[in-house]
Amino acid sequence: MRFAAYENRHRRRVAVVEEDGTLFPLPGVSSLTVLVQETGGLPGLLAAGAAALDAPPGPHVCEVRLLAPLQPASVRDFVTFEEHVEGVRRSVEGTGGVPEEWYAAPAFYFTNPHAIFGPHDGIPVPPGSAVLDFELEVGAVIGREGRDLTPEEARDHIVGYTVFNDWSARDLQGAEMKVGLGPCKGKDTATALGPYLVTADELEPHRDADGFLRLALTAEVNGEIVGHDLLSNMSWTFEEMTAYASRGTRVVPGDVLGSGTCGNGGCLAELWGRRGEQTPPSLEPGDTVTLTVEGIGTLTNTVVPGAEPVPLPAGRRRSRERP
């Protein structure tokens, strides 16, 4: 089942999306995040969707403004593709290979849940950046709270999936990484999700013998394919990622876990690292990025001008005087 959040006639609604694009609104529901929280997992969400299909249909998706399917409680963005790590380390950090520590656990960072964009939304250039990039990922959505989960238990906590674009200011990111705390403003301006939340049961036929979802991934810039990969090239499954995310803490309904960027052109920086030059060039206002994930859908956004950075002073070298 596919769920959409949308705006129509100045009202926000949530609906089940049929194959032909017809929307079946859920009465009284304006937030898919709240619906996921209230239904308590995949069976409850499917039951709510089935009830909506028994009601009269609403508009077609082409007649409404699609929104990000949900406003996440939190966003953990993992890095699970070796090929991406190799290329981006060359491009952003000037080093090669994959560090041994990477293989120890599925590393992630927390990104900004207050900067979520939906399908067709304009993506502003981050203030102060001149090197904007996209990142082709898949996001898993948590539907049930859990703590210290095993991978086997974690499967029942994933309610569905969506396309995930981690917009990245590579020049800001490269400078911040030297501080040693990971990316901050280099990743802070926009994360795009959409076009739909596809429930986990829909993708089970794509699961391979090792537990990975074998889905084709394609990235286009201005109509030209620049990257393609398989989601099954991840080094950890979503269930393993969810288990690690819940270790010593909890995952809650509405949390989104990004797969990390796929290889073979899942972002421009990987290509720059492999080619030794910025080809294709970084994104500019007017450029359109289209990300397609088999079984989930297509997420399209166009870059627009952003705000100028508010000036701040450099850090002061203080006297370190003591009382």
pLDDT tens digits in sequence order for the chain, 323 residues long: 999 999 999 999 999 999 999 999 999 999 999 999 999 999 999 999 999 999 999 999 999 999 999 999 999 999 999 999 998 888 777 777 899 999 999 999 999 999 999 999 999 999 999 999 999 999 999 999 999 999 999 999 999 999 999 999 999 998 988 888 888 899 999 999 999 999 999 999 999 999 999 999 999 999 999 999 999 999 999 999 999 999 999 999 999 999 999 999 999 999 999 899 999 999 999 999 999 999 999 999 999 999 999 999 999 999 999 99
Check residue 96 and give its pLDDT. Answer: 77
Does residue 240 share a domain with residue 201? yes
The amino acid at 249: T
In a 13 Å sphere around the CA of 41, the CA atoms on its Cβ side amount to: 9
Does residue 93 share a domain with residue 13? no
Does residue 112 share a domain with residue 29? no
The total domain count for the chain is 2
Check residue 89 and give its pLDDT. Answer: 85
Measured CA to CA, the distance from residue 154 to residue 244 in angstroms comes to: 10
Measured CA to CA, the distance from residue 174 to residue 294 in angstroms comes to: 32
Measured CA to CA, the distance from residue 222 to residue 50 in angstroms comes to: 38
Which of 14, 32, 67 is a domain's end point? 67
Does residue 138 share a domain with residue 197? yes
The length of the chain, given as a count of residues: 323
Does residue 219 share a domain with residue 100? yes
Structure pTM?
A: 0.96
Measured CA to CA, the distance from residue 45 to residue 90 in angstroms comes to: 43
| Residue 293 structural domain | 75-304
Check residue 19 and give its pLDDT. Answer: 96
Does residue 163 share a domain with residue 15? no
Measured CA to CA, the distance from residue 169 to residue 163 in angstroms comes to: 20
Give yes or no for a contact between 132 and 283, defined as CB atoms under 8 angstroms apart.
Answer: yes
Q: List, for residues 71-125, the tens digit of each pLDDT value.
A: 999 999 999 999 999 988 887 777 778 999 999 999 999 999 999 999 999 999 9
CATH number at residue 169: 3.90.850.10
Does residue 203 share a domain with residue 57? no
Measured CA to CA, the distance from residue 11 to residue 88 in angstroms comes to: 41
Does residue 119 share a domain with residue 45? no
Which of 67, 89, 115 is a domain's end point? 67
Does residue 212 share a domain with residue 127? yes
Check residue 180 and give its pLDDT. Answer: 84
Does residue 189 share a domain with residue 101? yes
Question: Does a structural domain hold residue 38?
Answer: yes
Q: Give the dihedral sign, CA 205/208/209/212.
A: negative
CB atoms near residue 56 (< 10 Å):
6
Which of 67, 92, 114 is a domain's end point? 67
Check residue 302 and give its pLDDT. Answer: 98
Question: Does a structural domain hold residue 319?
Answer: no
Closest by CA to 164, choosing from 84, 225, 106, 77, is 77
Measured CA to CA, the distance from residue 172 to residue 183 in angstroms comes to: 8
3-state secondary structure of 47: helix
Question: Does a structural domain hold residue 34?
Answer: yes
Does residue 164 share a domain with residue 39? no
For residue 86, the surrounding DSSP H or E stretch is helix 82-88
Check residue 181 and give its pLDDT. Answer: 86
Does residue 250 share a domain with residue 107? yes
3-state secondary structure of 201: helix
